[in-house]
């Protein structure tokens, strides 16, 4: 059975984070079956647990996910699957998230590839989706940010996930045409089964 999908539309990061944490606690207690949240954030930088102290400057939101600094903003569809993992295997879960990104790209006729370390998805050698999660009691928190039609300038303020900002792109640039957030949300909704299938990921 597929989880409920809720599109939060355009939203600031702090209240969305509070919603995620509350939902995660409910799923961990067994009070909720889980939900996949879709959101387009107001501009924000977040720092995962692997971010060095000297990179944690004022204005960056420290959070419990893995990885380093990333950016969320207009033109990016961030997907938060607050669900119990189908298998008790974090590596499997990261691969599922990557395959989810690959499936979204395929929806637009693009051949995407997984990263080598479970942290993102690439098309033509450039990164359009970043992954960062925190798994507690085998319930996922945080998720995957899919660049749809972004101003890429904010990426150049940081080293996204420890990489050169020049590696970043979005699906519109890769497809050679402007894509809308509604199109991306529809593609993500169609691909959710990749995350929840009981068997192995694609």
Active site residues: 161
> What does residue 11 show for φ and ψ, rounded to 5 degrees?
-150, 150
Instruction: Determine the 3-state secondary structure of 191 from DSSP.
Output: helix
Is residue 179 within 8 Å of 148, Cβ to Cβ? yes
Indicate left, alpha or beta for 110 from its phi (over 0: left) and psi (-120 to 50: alpha).
Answer: beta
C-alpha to C-alpha distance for 39 and 142, rounded to whole angstroms: 12
Contacts of residue 105, Cβ cutoff 8 Å, sequence gap at least 6: 111, 112, 121, 123, 128, 171, 174
Best CA proximity match to 9, nearest among 38, 36, 44, 34: 38
Distant-in-sequence, close-in-space partners of 179: CB < 8 Å, separation ≥ 6: 108, 148, 149, 171, 172
């Amino acid at each position: 059975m597929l989880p409920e999908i809720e599109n939060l539309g355009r939203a600031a990061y702090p209240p969305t984070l509070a919603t995620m944490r509350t939902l995660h606690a409910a799923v961990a207690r067994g009070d909720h079956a889980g939900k996949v949240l879709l959101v387009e954030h107001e501009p924000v930088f977040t720092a995962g647990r692997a971010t060095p102290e000297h990179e944690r400057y004022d204005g960056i939101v420290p959070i419990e996910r893995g990885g380093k600094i990333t950016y969320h903003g207009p033109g990016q569809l961030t997907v938060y699957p607050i669900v119990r993992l189908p298998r008790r295997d974090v590596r499997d879960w990261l691969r599922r998230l990557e395959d989810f990104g690959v499936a979204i790209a395929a929806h637009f006729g693009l051949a995407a590839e997984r990263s080598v370390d479970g942290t993102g998805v690439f098309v033509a050698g450039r990164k359009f989706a970043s992954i960062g999660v925190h798994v507690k009691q085998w319930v996922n928190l945080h998720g995957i940010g899919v660049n749809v039609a972004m101003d890429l300038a904010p990426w150049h303020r940081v080293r996204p996930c420890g990489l050169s900002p020049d590696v970043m792109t979005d699906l519109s640039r890769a497809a050679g045409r402007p894509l809308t957030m509604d199109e991306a949300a529809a593609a993500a909704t169609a691909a959710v089964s990749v995350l929840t299938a009981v068997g192995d990921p694609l």
